[in-house]
C-alpha cells in the first residue's frame, strides 16, 4: 500500500534517529576505526563505514570486520570486537549533532498539534543519552529503541507498537526515515512513509525506495501533511 494523495491525514509522527534526526556517522565510523586499530587491523574509510550503518551496531561491527554487507565474521573475533567498539562509542556517541532544520521541523510539528515519537534500531543505552545531549528528548512522547521490543525495523512491530501507544489507526501514523529498513517497516505495517535523502541508505538513493515522498529536510514535511 502507498499513500500518494497529499496532504496526508496524520495524527502522530515517528522519526528515525541515525541519518534522519542526527548525523551519527562520524562518531560511529570513528568508533569502528578505533576498534580496528586496537585489534591491529587496517582502518576503513568513513564513506565505506557510512554505507555499513543502518541495521544496528552488531551489523556495523560485522561489516567493519569483514568488509562485506552480509558476511558473518568468526564468532570469536566478533565477540572480541564488539566490547571494544562499544567502549569507544560510549565515549563518542553524545557528540552527534542534528541535521539542518531538524529543530525547526520538530517545532513546527509540535505547534501543529502532531504527537511525536522516535523509532531507532540503536539500543536504548545509547539512544537516551544521545537524544538528551542533542536537545531532542523533550520532543518525543515515546522512544522505541532497538532493544525495546522483541523485533526492530524492518519488522513492523515498532510502528504497530507506536500506533497503539498513540491510540491512532496505523494509516494515520507517519514514519519519517532515511533507509530501506524504514521503507520495509512502513509497508509491512501499512503506514505512510516520507524519507530524507541525506541519511544512511547503504549508499543507495532513497528515491529508488517504495516511499510516498522524499523531502530535503524535516521541516519540508509540513506542506505534505494535515491533522487527521
Active-site residue numbers? 16
Give phi and psi for 23, each to the nearest 5.
-90, 85
Cell numbers representing residue 214 in the block: 522524499
Q: Under a CB-based contact definition with an 8 Å cutoff, are residues 10 and 227 in contact? A: yes
Give the span between the Cα atoms of 169 and 22, in whole angstroms. 28
170 CB-contact burial (10 Å; exposed 0-12 / middle 13-18 / buried 19+): middle
Give the span between the Cα atoms of 137 and 177, in whole angstroms. 17
Amino acid at each position: 500500500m502507498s499513500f500518494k494523495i497529499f496532504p496526508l491525514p496524520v495524527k502522530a509522527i515517528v522519526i528515525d534517529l541515525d541519518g534522519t534526526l542526527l548525523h551519527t556517522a562520524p562518531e560511529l565510523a570513528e568508533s569502528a576505526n578505533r576498534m580496528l586499530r586496537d585489534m591491529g587491523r587496517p582502518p576503513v574509510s568513513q564513506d565505506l563505514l557510512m554505507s555499513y550503518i543502518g541495521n544496528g551496531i552488531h551489523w556495523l561491527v560485522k561489516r567493519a570486520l569483514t568488509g562485506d554487507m552480509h558476511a558473518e565474521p568468526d564468532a570469536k573475533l566478533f565477540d572480541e570486537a564488539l566490547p571494544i567498539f562499544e567502549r569507544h562509542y560510549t565515549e563518542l556517541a553524545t557528540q552527534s549533532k542534528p541535521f539542518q532544520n531538524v529543530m525547526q521541523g520538530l517545532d513546527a510539528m509540535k505547534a501543529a498539534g502532531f504527537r511525536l515519537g522516535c523509532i531507532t534500531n540503536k539500543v536504548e543505552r545509547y539512544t537516551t543519552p544521545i537524544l538528551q545531549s542533542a536537545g531532542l528528548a523533550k520532543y518525543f512522547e515515546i522512544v522505541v529503541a532497538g532493544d525495546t521490543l522483541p523485533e526492530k525495523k524492518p519488522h513492523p512491530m515498532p510502528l504497530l507498537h507506536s500506533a497503539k501507544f498513540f491510540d491512532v489507526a496505523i494509516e494515520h501514523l507517519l514514519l519519517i526515515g532515511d533507509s530501506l529498513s524504514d521503507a520495509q517497516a512502513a509497508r509491512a505495517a501499512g503506514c505512510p512513509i516520507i524519507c530524507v535523502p541525506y541519511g544512511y541508505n547503504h549508499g543507495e538513493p532513497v528515491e529508488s525506495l517504495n516511499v510516498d515522498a522524499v523531502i530535503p529536510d524535516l521541516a519540508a514535511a509540513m506542506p505534505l501533511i494535515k491533522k487527521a
